[in-house]
Amino acid sequence: MPVTAKICGLSTAATLDAAIAGGASHVGFVIFPPSPRHLGLDRLAGLAARVPDHVRKVGVFVDPDDDLLMASVAAGGLDVVQLHKTTPGRVAHCRGLSRAQAWAAIAVKTRADLDGAPGFVGAADRLLYDAKTPEGAALPGGMGVRFDWEVLRGFRHPLPWALSGGLDVANVAEAIARTGAPLVDVSSGVESAPGVKDMDKIAAFLQRVSAS
């Protein structure tokens, strides 16, 4: 199976179009005000309208309340809700409410951080292994932090999964080769500054993934 890629944290039409033209299977929109990539509902709707049906639209949330989740799913026609810092019970609730696919982000630093993964069976459609950001960090993701991919070696994934955290054009081929990731997810690795996506970096990243 070819490896697929999600380009996350898109906030302009030009960079969104670059991700689509480059072959991204998923595009991500962050709905979390502390993030430099945060989109309000109007901008979310405008960008989402540009996305063709064969590309999945992912909304990225940090333990959202029901009103924000539902308003965002409606505005963006979201196919997937990616949920950070959210319990299995809340993930199941969000999936039922939104009728979108639900991805549960698991913050990983050590092998023990995978212990909670089986708890998402029946609640989530996919697990996203993302690097744990430093204690007290403003964001639980999108900071270019990488984890030791060896912690995934031999792990029996209880659900479909994806890899994220500190990926970029220089390391994504190795990440895929070492982990067998079926889907990779990148945000800051295709930026020139926090929140500023770079079209050339997006194209190069997607080319490297498709060659893997």
Report the interface residues with ligand LGQLAAA5, using CB under 6 A: 8-9, 28, 30, 32, 35, 37, 60, 62, 84, 128, 130, 139-145, 164-167, 185-189
CB 148, CB 186: distance < 8 Å? no
CB neighbour class for 115 (10 Å; exposed up to 12, middle 13-18, buried from 19): exposed
Q: Which is nearer to ligand LGQLAAA5, 123 or 163 (CB)?
A: 163
> Residues near 65 by Cβ (< 8 Å), separated by ≥ 6?
none
Q: Which is nearer to ligand LGQLAAA5, 26 or 154 (CB)?
A: 26
Structure tokens at 144: 């270019």
How far apart are CB 134 and ligand LGQLAAA5 at their closest, in Å?
13
Q: Which is nearer to ligand LGQLAAA5, 95 or 191 (CB)?
A: 191
Q: Which is nearer to ligand LGQLAAA5, 136 or 154 (CB)?
A: 136
Tell which residue, 209, 211, 206, has the closest CA to residue 19. 206
How far apart are CB 30 and ligand LGQLAAA5 at their closest, in Å?
5
How far apart are CB 6 and ligand LGQLAAA5 at their closest, in Å?
7
Q: What is the DSSP track for 94-130?
A: HHHHH-SEEEEEEEESSGGGGTTGGGGTTT-SEEEEE
